[in-house]
Amino acid sequence: MVVRENVGLIGDRSPGDVTVFLCGPEPEDIFTAVYDAWASRLGHDNVRLEIDGPQRQIGLFCQYVSVVRDLEKAEKVSRSIARKISWEAYSGVYRAALSFEVDRADAIYRFLVVGFQVGADVIHRLQHPAVCRVFELSRKVGNETHLFLGFTRFAQWKNGVLFARMAPKCNVLPLVAPHFDDRMSGENWMIYDEIRHKAAVHPAGGSWFMVDTVDAGWEEWIQSMDDGQQWEDLWRTFVDHIVIEPRRNPGLQRSLLPLWYRKNMTEHQRTEKV
Amino acid sequence: MLILEGLSLEEKLQILSDAAKYDAACTSSGVDRQGARGTIGSASACGICHSFAADGRCISLLKILMTNECVFDCKYCINRKSNDVVRTSFTPEEICRLTMEFYRRNYIEGLFLSSGVAGSPNATMERLIETLYLLRNKYRFRGYIHVKGIPGASPDRVERLGFLADRMSVNLELPTGDSLRALAPHKTRQTILRPIRQIQQGMAQDRLLLPESGGWSRRQEEAFALPQVTSMPPLEGGLALEGHRDREDHKNRRIVSDLGSGILTTGYQLPQYSDLRHRGDLLASEQARFVPAGQSTQIIIGATPETDYQIVSVAEALYQKFDLKRVFYSAYVGINDDSALPAVGEKPPLMREHRLYQADWLLRFYGFRASELLDEARPNFNVLLDPKCDWAVRHLDHFPVEVNRADYYTLLRVPGIGVKSARRILQARRSSSLDFADLKKMGVVLKRAHYFITCKGKMMHRIRLEENVVTTCLVDQNRRQNWQWEHGQESYRQMSLFDDCKVERMPTVEDQLASVSGQF
Ligand code: SF4
């Protein structure tokens, strides 16, 4: 990440300028940015947090500071949210940080400004725009997480590993993995987020961890591992036969299971792999 | 009966999932159970939908029959003895392998195993027990299991099966004993209700053995035992239906008293705790639980002449007297050509089914009673208005209510305010009083709610609260809603698919006190 401005320059700012803290997309990046912005002592009204990326708009009269991910700072922030506000507030903020919305970092910052003032009750103050926004983001992430608990599909590789591929809108993998960790502790499994190029890996009997999968060759490798489809065919048979014809209602099906989610679901993969 | 030997697993799956699909229940909810080393599976109280079929119904469980052989002859059922269909059975091993392989791939949340009556009810129950025993022990399956209890089975078999399953259901099938006699000659009210009563008693004793686990009914009681400061009529206790007022006519009283407790004392006792360990549940290493996710039942809608009022009264009695977790309503699908039934090819009464689910929701979470929603003079739901709007426009004298002061149950009676938004209002108004714009953020549907509420003493628009004015506006909105529902775009989701997990938690006593004292 290119540092566009040096933090040291902040002192030269003219009144009314806003200092923008640019950070990466992961919760750790956002929490680091919260730490830096807070510690800058520029005043809450004079700082803004933004996620760096192509969709970002360059503002006039802004100074930009690039935030470098720092796990220690991030951890300090999360710990003080959990301790000084509440565990619930922390889990809401963490989930909001996994959203895809570009305003998530700043919304979290504003939420925390209120939160450190009023304490645990912050999560009930939906009248407050920042609280309302974090609540909204967190609910969306929570909903999508819940969908993926059901919609994730594993296929069995030749070596017995269960492999799933997902393309979630929000960054839900860190919330989905613990569910399968608990449920399938005795299996070797892997869930791959094909949009963010990372995977949760779980060795049988061990605990899961996250890996980056940006290297070349990864896609080919996982395709070479694919195995037979006996159970996949049986599953498709079941899904077809469970329909009550006089009740057929594809519109309803589409609203409950949007097309976006279908591409990695076994029952909707019909033609490939014959 | 044509029993085909040597069918492939795929062919059996086709036949036995086809035969199982008319059962409406497919929820995997009601119990939280973490995974454990050396086993596979867990359960989530909210339930998890894994897919949606082309008819829009949720697929959560592998819903199959063990066999579609049946010695009974229920007229509405595709598997009835007199039907000429191909019959087949799964072996217990086949069921286990299907369940395990589907589960590992996360196709399903668990198994919903039902069965035709092969030989006798008891023989069928033995097969079911054998299958679940194998699944729990040999295959170490810790996921969700919903199993059907066979009407007429002996109490000890019901008990053994109950220790292996999470949910058990015995279908009531038809709302009255008369209809049952007409359409299901081998079943009686008693053979159906006896196991339901037994499961209820077993669960109650199970809860006593494990005092830390609060059952739904207990929580419900707490929530319903709130200080009565509302303008609503007080809610009566579990026996509300027996003490029905005079305006209830005889017929209805009879329907409900059919469900009365007198005829149904089973004298059933759960074995002592020390006996539980050999019950064969894999979970015995912790504590074997008896039907921990509760029991449900299903009523077929539209095959017999009962009114909606009769049906919701029966449902209410089942919730109150039998502690049921869910009653499912299944619009009758004409499959058998029979003079006693609606014609084959007639459209299933889906809108009616939808209204019943809405009313059911009002009974369970909104503090409504069946007799408030309908009565003998108006025995069926309004097709134009959902039951809650319908109630509200007939009771305009209760409105408008002040959002910043009204208690929880009063808020719940406002069309456009749901369980979640009511709870959010209670919490938010402690720190400052609320405006219409705030309500929107809490998920209140102002389009509907604004006729019935004030914020800080003011209504949103100046309108006359007159029944026909409000009704016209609401009917218009409902028409759009109905259209969306029929075209599969809305609302069905909240009513019948997503189970109740998120609304089950009633507001805390603190929330209640805050609203009662009205100090905020
Ligand atoms: S008992 Fe009745 S409802 Fe059940 S399978 Fe047999 S015929 Fe069908």
Cis geometry, peptide bond prior to residue A129 (ω within 30 degrees of 0): no
Report the pLDDT averaged over residues B365-374.
93
Alpha-carbon gap, residue B53 to A250, rounded angstroms: 9
Two tokens at A121?
């009750």
Chain segment A121-139, per-residue pLDDT in tens:
999 998 899 999 999 999 9
The amino acid present at A41, given as its one-letter code, is R
Cross-strand bridge partners of residue B298: B328
Separation between Cα atoms, residue B86 and residue B96, nearest integer Å: 23
Q: Using alpha carbons only, give the angle B43, B213, B321 rounded to the nearest 5 degrees.
A: 100
- Sorted by where each begins, the domain ranges of chain A are 2-144, 151-268
At B109, list the tokens.
């949340």
Residues B202-206 have a mean pLDDT of: 84
Least confident of B67-76, B119-128, B378-387: B378-387
The answer to whether B178 touches B41, Cβ cutoff 8 Å, is no
| C-beta of B318 in contact with ligand 1 (< 6 A) | no
Query: For residue B65, what are its two tokens?
Result: 């029959």
| Residues B417/B449, Cβ–Cβ less than 8 Å | yes
Residue B192 Cβ contacting ligand 1 at under 6 Å: no
Judged by CB atoms closer than 8 Å, whether chains meet at A154 and B104 is answered as yes
Q: Which atom of ligand 1 is nearest to the CA of B150?
A: 1
From CA A101, how far away is CA A94, in angstroms rounded? 14
What ligand 1 atom has the least distance to the C-alpha of B79? 8
Within 10 Å of residue A87's Cβ, how many Cβ atoms?
11
CA–CA gap between residue B47 and residue B61 (Å, rounded): 10
Higher pLDDT, B42 or A2: B42
Residue B352 tokens read as 């009616």
**% of chain B residues with pLDDT over 70:** 76
Kindly give, in sequence order, each residue whose CB lies less than 8 Å from that of residue B45, ignoring residues fewer than 6 positions away.
Answer: B29, B30, B31, B32, B501
Over residues A83-108, the mean pLDDT reads 94
The closest CB to that of A248, out of B51, B55, B106, belongs to B55
Which of B267, B358, B364 is CA-nearest to residue B324?
B364
Burial class of residue B413 (count of CB atoms within 10 Å of its CB; 0-12, 13-18, 19+): buried
Segment B436-446 shows an average pLDDT of 90
Structural domain spans, chain B: 2-227+244-354, 384-491
CA dihedral for A210, A211, A212, A213, sign (positive or negative): negative
The closest residue, in CA terms, to atom 1 on ligand 1 is B72
Report whether residue B74 contacts ligand 1, using a CB cutoff of 6 Å.
yes
Residue to substitute in B72, B76, B170, B172 for testing ligand 1 pocket (most ligand atoms within 8 angstroms of CB): B72
Q: Which residues of B touch A241 (CB under 8 A)?
A: 13-14, 17-18, 21
Chain A CB contacts of B431 below 8 Å: 118, 121, 124-125, 127
**Pick from B22, B34, B46: which is nearest to A244 by CB?**
B22
Tell me the CA distances in angstroms from B342 to B18, B72, B75, B304, B339, one per residue in order: 21, 20, 11, 9, 8
Q: Which structure tokens are listed for B105? A: 């791939």
- Encoded tokens for A122: 């912050």
Residue B279 in this model has a pLDDT that exceeds 90: no
Extract the runs of DSSP E, i.e. beta strands, from B396-501. Answer: 401-402, 453-454
A127 to A130, A201, B336, B434: CA distances (angstroms): 9, 41, 57, 8
Contact B409, B415 (CB under 8 A): no
Does the beta-carbon distance from A126 to B442 stay under 8 Å? Answer: yes
Choosing among A252, A263, A265, A268, which should be mutated to test the B contact, i.e. which has the most B CBs within 10 A? A252
- Mean pLDDT of the region B63-85: 94
Euclidean distance between CA atoms B241 and B316, whole angstroms: 8
Q: What is the pLDDT of residue B229?
A: 27
Q: Which residue do the tokens 């209204």 mark?
A: B355
DSSP β-bridge partners for residue B86: B2
How much is the pLDDT for B226? 28
DSSP codes joined into one string, B134-182:
HHHHTS-B-SEEEEEPPTT--HHHHHHHHTT-SEEE---BSSSHHHHHH
Per-residue model confidence as pLDDT tens digits over A44-69: 999 999 998 877 777 667 889 999 99
**In DSSP terms, which residues pair with A48 in a beta bridge?**
A20
- Give the range among B4-8, B245-249, B266-270, B285-289 with minimum mean pLDDT: B245-249
| Beta-carbon separation of A186 and B333 below 8 A | no
Chain B residue numbers with beta carbons less than 8 Å from the beta carbon of A269 are none
As a dihedral over the C-alpha atoms of residue B206, residue B212, residue B216, residue B221, rounded to 10 degrees, the angle is 110
**Which of A152, A164, A243 comes nearest B53 by C-beta?**
A243
Instruction: Quickly list H helices, A184-217.
Output: none
User: What residue of A is the nearest CA neighbor of B344?
Assistant: A246
* pLDDT tops 60 at residue B259: no
Q: If you write DSSP's letter for every residue of B326-376 in order, what string do you get?
A: EEEEEE----S--TTSPPTTPPP-HHHHHHHHHHHHHHHHS---HHHH-BT
Does the CB of A270 have a partner CB in chain B at under 8 Å?
no
Across the range A91-98, mean pLDDT stands at 95
**pLDDT bracket for residue A212 (50, 70, 90):** confident
**pLDDT band per the 50, 70, 90 thresholds, residue B470:** confident
The pTM of this model reads: 0.84
pLDDT at B244: 34
The residue whose two tokens read 């300090």 is: A76
Fold assignment, B2-227+244-354:
TIM Barrel (3.20.20)
pLDDT band at residue B1 under the 50/70/90 scheme = low
Would you mind telling me the total number of residues written for chain A in this entry? 274
Asked if the C-beta of A256 comes within 8 angstroms of chain B's C-beta atoms, the answer is yes
Decide if B431 touches A, using CB distance below 8 A.
Answer: yes
CB-based contact B177:B189 (threshold 8 Å): yes
pLDDT at position B484 is 63
Residues B419-429, mean pLDDT to the nearest whole number: 90
Q: Coil, strand or helix: which one is A163?
A: strand
Q: What mean pLDDT value characterizes chain B?
A: 79
- Provide the shortest C-alpha distance from residue B94 to chain A (in Å): 12
Whole-number pLDDT of residue B220 = 33
- Chain A contact for B343, CB < 8 A? no
Contacts from A136-141 at CB under 8 Å and sequence distance 24+?
Answer: A137/A95, A137/A96, A137/A99, A137/A101, A137/A104, A137/A107, A138/A91, A138/A92, A138/A93, A138/A95, A138/A96, A138/A99, A140/A99, A140/A170, A141/A95, A141/A96, A141/A98, A141/A99, A141/A170, A141/A171, A141/A172, A141/A175
What are B128's two structure tokens?
């079911």
Residue A274, pLDDT score: 38
A117 touches chain B (CB under 8 A): no
Any idea which of B168-172, B191-195, B234-238, B431-435 has the lowest mean pLDDT? B234-238
Is the pLDDT score of A40 beyond 80? Answer: yes
Q: How far apart are CA A128 and CA B390, in angstroms?
A: 34
DSSP B301-315: ESSS---HHHHHHHH
- Quick: pLDDT tens for B117-171: 999 999 999 999 999 999 999 999 999 999 999 999 999 999 999 999 999 999 9
Q: What is the pLDDT of residues B321-339, one digit of tens each?
A: 999 999 999 999 888 888 8
Q: Does B468 touch chain A (CB under 8 A)?
A: no
pLDDT above 50 (res B284):
no
Least confident of A5-9, A257-261, B64-68: A5-9
In sign, the C-alpha dihedral spanning A25, A30, A32, A37 is: positive
pLDDT of residue A50: 94
Least trusted range by pLDDT, from A34-38, B117-121, B266-270: B266-270
CA distance B128 to B164: 10
- Which residues of chain A are within 8 Å of residue B432 when distances are taken between CB atoms? 125, 127
Q: Which of B167, B212, B170, B184 is nearest to B79 (CA)?
A: B184
B7 part of contact set with chain A, CB < 8 Å: no
